[in-house]
Structure formats: C-alpha cells, structure tokens
Copies of this chain bind each other. A is one copy, B any other.
Amino acid sequence: MKSFIEYMAVELHLEDPKSDYPNICAGTDRYAMYKVGPVLSVSHGMGMPSISIMLHELFKLLHHANCTDVTILRIGTSGGIGLESGTVVITKQSVDATFMPKFEQVILGKTVVRSTDLDTDLAEKLLQCSKELKQFHTVIADTMCTMDFYEGQARLDGAFCSYTEKDKQDYLAKAYASGVRNIEMESLVFAAMCKLSGLKAAVVCVTLLDRQKGDQVSDSHEVLHNLELRPQILVGYFIKSQLGSSGKI
C-alpha cells in the first residue's frame, strides 16, 4: 500500500524528496493506511471478514472527515479462468461459489442477502483507460469470490482434497460458462458494503495463472512482481485522468 502511494505521488507530481509517507494507522495491526494528496491507500488482509473490518472503519473515517464524491477501488491478484496470465479483470459482477451475485451477511444470527452490484460506468471508464495505456490486456467480466483459497477454489494442492482433477475442471468450466473469468476472496463483501454506502466502487485484479492449467503460479518472482503492478498502473492512470479533468490537481 505504501508503494502505491509512492507511485501515485510521482504520477500526480506531489512527491516531496524530503518527506516519507507514514502509516496513518500505525497504532493498530489490523491494517496499514497511507495518503498522498486526495489518494488514500489501505491494506485489507486476506478474505471477506478481514476486508469488512477495514471497510466499516474506513466508511466511518470518510464520514467524519466529511469526504464527498469518493471512489473506492480494490486492486489485487486473482486466479484466472480461460485467460492468459497477466490479464487484468475489471469486475462486472461479483458472484459467490454458486455463481450467484449475492452476499449473505449474518446479523443477529439471521442471514440477510445483499446486492453485489458494482458501478457499470466506472468499469467502462477503467477499460477505456487500459485501451489508452496499451500496456496489457484488460477485460470486464464476472469475478467469483470464495471463503477459502484451497477447497473453496477447487485446488488440488491443499492439505485436504476430496475431489478429482475432473471434478475440479467441471466446476471451473461451469464457472466459465456462467461468465466468471477470475477468482479472489474479497470482492463480494466489498461490493455489498460499497453499494450499501452509496460509494462508486470497482474491483481490478490481475490474474497470476490460468486455473484450468494448474493450481500454482509458475512464473519467476520478477515476472510475478511485474504482473502484480498492472492493477496499480491502470488505477493510477485512472486516478490521474479523473483528478486532471476535475481540476483537483
């Protein structure tokens, strides 16, 4: 998250060689937060419970800071389905492990179903940015969000595995047929909470492998690091263009 703020400081010409960017949330180990100009960058840990804690507290912060016209973007990595590794996926709809666009939130022991709609215009604007950048392939597609990285994503290499390679391939084929092109672990609650808050939101994740071809990333650390930068480059370009057109920088 700090590296994203350092990157944005350069992109927005806000860098100050004398200044460091402190972790604003250094008093907690829940997450780290950095800021430059109008850009806030926050870590969220792995999985929906972890990101939901951060979002509750971020929304309260934004409210008390009287922030308006907020856009919230999750950037990260994911497993792809039927895509060349390195493809960037802008999420059209976040769906659960049964390919349904809904998030089930348990409140007082009762399940409440929440919508996971994301902002269509924002997704299109991000896709347009990628076309202008011409650095990597980007698609708009559905993202599957799971509670578990191994059994929940049909991996064969976890500590437990009660299914076959064929079962895995059948499941991934069904996901593909339903429109899913990548899998991660946070977008469902992210989309639900942003929707409930009325914030414009998007999910931008690069795929590190094609899950139909395997379960483990095989690229070198250097290649992976370069792939991981792609969502940052795309979102950085978008932020710069938005702030420029709004006269905020």
Q: Is the CB of B107 within 8 A of A60?
A: no
A5, CB-defined interface residue at 8 Å: no
Q: Is the CB of B159 within 8 A of A197?
A: yes
Pick the contact of A45: B47, B105, B151 (CB < 8 A).
B47
Stretch from A9-17, A85-93, A142-150, A241-249 at the B interface: A142-150
Stretch from A50-58, A127-135, A201-209, A229-237 at the B interface: A50-58
Distance, CA A108 to CA B148, complexed state (A): 11
Q: Is the CB of A106 within 8 A of B147?
A: yes
The total of chain A residues at the interface (CB under 8 A) is 44
Pick the contact of A152: B50, B59, B106, B154 (CB < 8 A).
B106
Distance, CA A57 to CA B159, complexed state (A): 7
Among A99, A151, A167, the most chain B Cβ lie within 10 Å of the Cβ of: A151
Q: Is the CB of A45 within 8 A of B52?
A: no
- Taking CB atoms and an 8 Å cut-off, the chain A residues in 77-127 that contact chain B are 97-99, 105-109
A38, CB-defined interface residue at 8 Å: no
Task: State the Cβ distance, A188 to closest chain B Cβ, in Å.
Answer: 11
Chain B hits for A148, CB < 8 A: 49, 52-53, 105-106
Chain B hits for A7, CB < 8 A: none
Q: Is the CB of A107 within 8 A of B53?
A: no
Q: Decide yes or no: A30 and B46 within 8 Å by CB, A106-B147, A152-B107 being known contacts.
A: yes
Distance, CA A158 to CA B61, complexed state (A): 11
Chain B hits for A49, CB < 8 A: 46-50, 146-149, 152, 185
Closest to A31 in B: B46
Chain B hits for A40, CB < 8 A: none
Pick the contact of A171: B30, B45, B109 (CB < 8 A).
B109
Chain B hits for A193, CB < 8 A: 159-160
Interface residues of A (CB under 8 A from B): 30, 45-50, 52-53, 55-57, 59-60, 63, 97-99, 105-109, 146-152, 154, 158-160, 162-163, 167-168, 171, 174, 185, 193, 196-197
